[in-house]
Every structure is written in C-alpha cells, then in structure tokens.
Amino acid sequence: MTAQTHKKAKALKPTSQRPAKALCSECGLCDTYYVHYVKEACAFINQQISTLEEQTHGRSRDLDAPDDVYFGVHQSMMAARKTEPIEGAQWTGMVSSIAIEMLNRGMVEGVVCVQNTKEDRFGPMPVIARTPEDILAARVNKPTLSPNLSVLEQIEQSGMKRLLVIGVGCQIQALRAVEKELGLEKLYVLGTPCVDNVTRAGLQKFLDTTSRSPSTVVYYEFMQDFKVHFKHEDGSTETVPFFGLKTNQLKDVFAPSCMSCFDYVNSLADLVVGYMGAPFGWQWTVVRNDTGQEMLNLIADQIETQPVNSVGDRHQAVQQSIPAYDKGVTLPMWAAKLMGVFIERIGPKGLEYARFSIDSHFTRNYLYVKRNYPEKLEAHVPAFAKKIVSQYKLPQ
C-alpha cells in the first residue's frame, strides 16, 4: 500500500457498518480509518494465515509436522507459571508481567490491552497503557468480544514508535495485515488462545444458565479438568462439568465469528500464553519466533517451567462429542459429574488435551461454516484446519 493510499485511508470516516456482517468479531479495525483496508485485513473476509505467518515468522506451518499443524509455527513450547502469581490475574499473570517489564525497561512506549468499563466488570474498554498500573488494571479476561484495535488511530497520532499489542487471534490477524501502515519501528505481539467468545448479551445468557449466582462471578475459565470454574466475589469457587452444560440453550450463544474461527492458537503472535497444553495451574507457553523469546526472557527470573507432556488418545472422545453437540444433548447433572470424573481419570492430558479442544472446536466450526456459509468454506478454512477435520466423520 502506498503513502497516497494511506493518506486517503486517513481521510475516511469509520462507519457503523461491518463488512464482515454477521461474522464480525468486533475487533475494532472498522472503528478507525484503517477500515480502508478491511477487505484485505479482516480475518472473516480474507483468511490469509499462511501468508501472514510467512511475513511474521519467516515461514508458514509445515503441514507434514504434526505439532506445526496443531499449534502453529513455533521455536519452543513449555508449561510455565509465576512463582508469585499476580492477584486477580486470569491465571498466574504472565501476560501482565511481560507487558510491565517491557514498559519498565523502555522497550515499548505503550501497550494495547483491555480494561473494563466503570459500570461493568466484564465490559471491555481497550486502552493504550503507559504505566504498570494501567496494565494491571487490564488483567483478567473480559470474556466478551472486545474492539481492541479501536485504539489504532491513537498510536499514529501519538507518534509512538515502539508498541506491544496484547490480543486474541482475530484482532492479531487484522493487526498483522495493517502492521506496515502503523508507522512503528517495532511491534511486539503477545497473544492468548481464544475460543467460544460471546457478545456481552451472550455472556449474560451463559452466566444466567450456568452459574448459581451470575451477578457475583468475577472470573471463569473452561479448565483442563473438563469443568467450568467460576470464581465469585466472596472468593468461593463453583465448578460445573462441561457435559452438564445446557447445550440446547447455549448452542446459539457463541458469536458467529467464533463459530467460524480456525485461529484458536493465535498463529500470528510472537509469543502465546494460554493454559490448555499445560498441567492444571500452569500456563501453556508457545514461543513462535526470536521476538517472542526476547519477550519471555524478560520474566525468566519470575517463573518456573517444565516441559510439556502429552497423555491419552483424544480421537474417540472427539468423534463421540460431534453428534452429541450437534443434537444439543444435555446430560442430567449426576451423569455429567460421573462422566467428568471418568474422563478426568482416563482422558487426554497436556498437549493431548489441547488437541482434544482444537479438534472439537474445528469440527464444530467446519460444520457451522459448511451449513451457513457454504460459498466461503473453501477459502475460509485454512489448510491445517482441513487436515485436522479430515480425521473425523462428520454429519451432513
């Protein structure tokens, strides 16, 4: 894109229209004059993961390397956790800690992250953090679609040259696509995996149908023990087995964007910090390139690490869950608990749990796109996802 094109883009007024229509994940790009690039940049209009992998990591996934197919281009993977966790972080606060170090050491002038609104603890409010306090105020997941890229115009206006962006896959795909237009000397990207996100209204429905006390939930996560863990204001924890979720009521709660997303593992971040490939309580950490390693090194003296492991065989469990989800089967709570105990004992663990989760979501999403957007199926589903889905027998 030329300087002339970018000048024209800057003259553009963002509109409330979303070119991806129902598939829009509200990533925020269209709230800025970068909307000019939307047809190329939007993850739901122009799937270009492999081109952007090449641009970012110097190569795209090797489709003959099973770990590449599942987890994306990477140099190393490990399980890690902070020896002194940050109170109130989603897990142990590795993400916030790396961001704070980068700011304190002057590696970046600002950090794009998402705080919550004054009125609503889960209402997303993207900001460019310039102090450690601003970063800490953004800790913990806002489990709703969040327009993180809506602050992009402020970056160019502020004259910032070195920036860290924290975000989920769809935000990072659009960011990488416009990276060269941001006028930065260096962009660092710290990603988290992401799946099954919801609008704020959808989140309320999920809390109302699943938690015993929706208004006091401060945090939740779908954990590796096959349960949803809710933390409440009074510090108590409530767990609900996955198999006891009211699938029939919750089927439509996930945003269409998330039902058609195949970038669970945030392929284009330099460093990814999640939990699903690690033992319970640890953070799954994927270094994708040299920049990611540089970022992880900053907290080397604040974390302990162990190698990732892989136990079990997910295939049967995934195959059985496909028609069950499709038909919206909900088990009675006693059966769900029993099933949870059984699966936890003999079920997949470590990287095999991550593969279980990826397989379950990719098969579901493939069916969703096939049924609702058949004309998009071929171009929208990346080759690595097609390979993953092809292991299973799918209903029509």
Interface with ligand FAD by CB under 6 A: which residues? 86, 89-96, 113-114, 124, 138-144, 146, 148, 166-168, 192-195, 197, 221, 273-276, 283-284
The piece of 16-24, 121-129, 206-214, 364-372 that touches ligand SF4 (CB under 6 A) is 16-24
Identify which of 303, 308, 305 has the alpha carbon closest to the alpha carbon of residue 86.
Answer: 303
| 371 vs 81: CA distance, rounded Å | 41
Label the pairing between strands 227-232 and 303-306.
unpaired
Q: How far is the CB of 257 from ligand FAD (least distance, A)?
A: 12
Tell me: does residue 259 bind ligand SF4 (CB under 6 A).
Answer: no
Tell me: does residue 86 bind ligand SF4 (CB under 6 A).
Answer: no
Partner from ligand SF4, ligand FAD, none binding residue 140, C-beta < 5-8 Å depending on class: ligand FAD
C-alpha dihedral over 262, 391, 242, 200, to 10 degrees? Answer: 20
Tell me: does residue 30 bind ligand SF4 (CB under 6 A).
Answer: yes
Tell me: does residue 14 bind ligand SF4 (CB under 6 A).
Answer: no
Residues in the chain: 396
DSSP state, residue 75: S
Q: How far is CA 117 from CA 126, 278, 382, in A?
A: 9, 31, 35
Tell me: does residue 24 bind ligand SF4 (CB under 6 A).
Answer: yes
Q: How far is the CB of 72 from ligand SF4 (least distance, A)?
A: 20
Partner from ligand SF4, ligand FAD, none binding residue 168, C-beta < 5-8 Å depending on class: ligand FAD
What amino acid is encoded at 286 in this protein?
Answer: V
Return the beta strands (E) in 217-331 as ranges.
Answer: 217-222, 227-232, 237-241, 271-274, 283-287, 303-306, 310-311
- CB neighbourhood size of 121 (10 A): 13
Number of residues that bind ligand SF4 (CB under 6 A): 14
Partner from ligand FAD, ligand SF4, none binding residue 38, C-beta < 5-8 Å depending on class: ligand SF4
Q: Could you tell me which residues are beta bridge partners of residue 186?
A: 162
The angle, 0 to 180 degrees and rounded to 10, between the axes of the packed helices 290-297 and 94-104 is 90
Residue (264 or 356) nearer to ligand SF4, CB: 264
Partner from ligand SF4, ligand FAD, none binding residue 296, C-beta < 5-8 Å depending on class: none
- CB neighbourhood size of 70 (10 A): 20
Local structure of 146: helix, strand or coil = coil
- CB neighbourhood size of 18 (10 A): 19
- Exactly one of 6, 18, 232, 314 binds ligand SF4 (CB under 6 A); which one? 18
| 131 vs 165: CA distance, rounded Å | 14
Residue (18 or 139) nearer to ligand SF4, CB: 18
Q: How far is the CB of 70 from ligand SF4 (least distance, A)?
A: 24
Contact yes or no for 262/365 (Cβ under 8 A): yes
The piece of 22-30, 86-94, 103-111, 112-120 that touches ligand SF4 (CB under 6 A) is 22-30
Residue (35 or 296) nearer to ligand SF4, CB: 35
Residue identified by tokens 């952007």 is 52
| 328 vs 323: CA distance, rounded Å | 8
Tell me: does residue 42 bind ligand SF4 (CB under 6 A).
Answer: yes
Partner from ligand FAD, ligand SF4, none binding residue 29, C-beta < 5-8 Å depending on class: ligand SF4
Residues of the shown chain interacting with ligand SF4 in the complex, contacts defined by CB under 6 A: 18-20, 24-27, 29-30, 38, 42, 44, 170, 174
